């Protein structure tokens, strides 16, 4: 989501700093929060909403197509009153000092959570692991002002490729201080594509297949045990020399 309008939209809402963030203990006053002020003192309530994605980009909110910036702003108005995305970040600056700052990012928290859950449904395990492995260094490069380094284009090419099937809808339940994903739908669902039911029925294999696969997967552990047994058996002989 490197759309310039979207980035500007997120940047409109800055971080919150003050004397309370100059130390590592304690929070900031409730009055200092802007979007989520008094979120946890209001009567408990809940709301259900849906975010639709196409190739990794959010395109609908509760079934209604909208401009990306408008979607973010609408999502912010819906999630902020529940205290979603409120936090205090303790991290490192590029020069090596520690920094602490409060922030409010309700729309970002909702989008990231929904997007991550949709990826779990449509990406293979290896796709998820490789994508996660480049996410942290990419974030560091952006944080350090190195976005123009060619390696960022390389990482972005992988990220964009990974999003080809990240399309579908995520159902969310909002409660004070909590965003719960109730379900995910996608035409590219790897769960729906399998004949097997997790914990219930194999479908894709027989008991003999499963036994043979288990034995193969366990070989590394078997070799490790055998090596220990061989070493123990040869120990007396080595000691006698």
pLDDT at 65: 96
Considering the domain architecture, whether residues 187 and 89 belong to the same structural domain is answered as yes
Considering the domain architecture, whether residues 116 and 217 belong to the same structural domain is answered as no
User: Is 143 part of any domain?
Assistant: no
Considering the domain architecture, whether residues 18 and 59 belong to the same structural domain is answered as yes
Considering the domain architecture, whether residues 17 and 49 belong to the same structural domain is answered as yes
User: Is 137 part of any domain?
Assistant: no
Question: Rounded to an integer, what is the distance from CA 30 to the centroid of its chain?
Answer: 28
Considering the domain architecture, whether residues 64 and 116 belong to the same structural domain is answered as yes
Q: Which of 101-110, 198-207, 224-233 has the highest mean predicted lDDT (pLDDT)?
A: 101-110
User: Is 91 part of any domain?
Assistant: yes
- In terms of pLDDT, which residue wins out, 155 or 21? 155
Considering the domain architecture, whether residues 172 and 231 belong to the same structural domain is answered as no
Q: Does position 60 have pLDDT exceeding 80, yes or no? A: yes
User: Is 76 part of any domain?
Assistant: yes
Are the C-beta atoms of 179 and 170 separated by less than 8 Å?
no
Provide mean pLDDT across the span 215-236: 89
Considering the domain architecture, whether residues 118 and 211 belong to the same structural domain is answered as no
Considering the domain architecture, whether residues 41 and 64 belong to the same structural domain is answered as yes
Provide mean pLDDT across the span 61-74: 95
Domain count, the chain: 2
155 CB burial (10 A radius; 0-12, 13-18, 19+)? middle
Provide mean pLDDT across the span 60-72: 95
Give the model confidence (pLDDT) of 7-48 as tens digits.
444 444 568 888 888 888 888 888 899 988 888 888 889 999
Considering the domain architecture, whether residues 21 and 118 belong to the same structural domain is answered as yes
Give the model confidence (pLDDT) of 156-209 as tens digits.
999 999 999 999 999 999 999 999 999 999 999 998 887 756 555 567 778 788
Nearest to 170 by CA among 116, 125, 127: 116
What CATH number is attached to the domain comprising 12? 3.90.1260.10
User: Is 151 part of any domain?
Assistant: no
pLDDT category, 115, cuts 50, 70, 90? very high
Q: 151: which 2 tokens?
A: 């390696």
User: Is 198 part of any domain?
Assistant: no
Provide mean pLDDT across the span 55-74: 95
User: Is 176 part of any domain?
Assistant: yes
User: Is 135 part of any domain?
Assistant: no
pLDDT at 150: 97
Considering the domain architecture, whether residues 8 and 43 belong to the same structural domain is answered as yes
Considering the domain architecture, whether residues 30 and 63 belong to the same structural domain is answered as yes
Considering the domain architecture, whether residues 72 and 97 belong to the same structural domain is answered as yes
* Domain range enclosing 80: 4-123+165-193
């Amino acid at each position: 989501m490197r759309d310039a309008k979207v980035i500007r939209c997120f940047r409109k809402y800055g971080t919150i700093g003050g004397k309370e963030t100059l130390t590592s203990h304690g929070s900031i006053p409730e009055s200092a929060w802007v979007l989520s002020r008094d979120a946890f003192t209001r009567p408990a309530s809940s709301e259900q909403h849906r975010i639709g994605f196409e190739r990794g980009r959010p395109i609908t909110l509760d079934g209604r197509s909208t401009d990306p910036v408008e979607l973010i702003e609408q999502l912010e108005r819906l999630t902020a009153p529940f205290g979603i995305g409120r936090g205090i970040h303790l991290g490192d600056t590029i020069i090596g000092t520690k920094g602490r700052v409060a922030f409010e990012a309700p729309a970002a928290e909702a989008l990231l959570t929904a997007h991550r859950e949709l990826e779990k449904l449509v990406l293979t395990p290896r796709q998820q692991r490789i994508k996660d492995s480049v996410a942290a260094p990419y974030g560091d490069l952006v944080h350090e002002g190195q976005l123009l380094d060619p390696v960022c284009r390389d990482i972005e090419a992988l990220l964009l490729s990974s999003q080809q099937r990240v399309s579908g809808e995520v159902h969310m339940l909002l409660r004070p201080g909590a965003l719960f994903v109730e379900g995910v739908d996608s035409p590219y669902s790897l769960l729906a594509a399998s004949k097997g039911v997790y914990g219930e029925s194999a479908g894709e294999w027989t008991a003999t297949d499963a036994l043979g696969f288990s034995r193969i997967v366990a070989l590394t552990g078997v070799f490790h045990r055998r090596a220990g047994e061989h070493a123990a058996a040869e120990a007396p002989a080595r000691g006698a020399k």
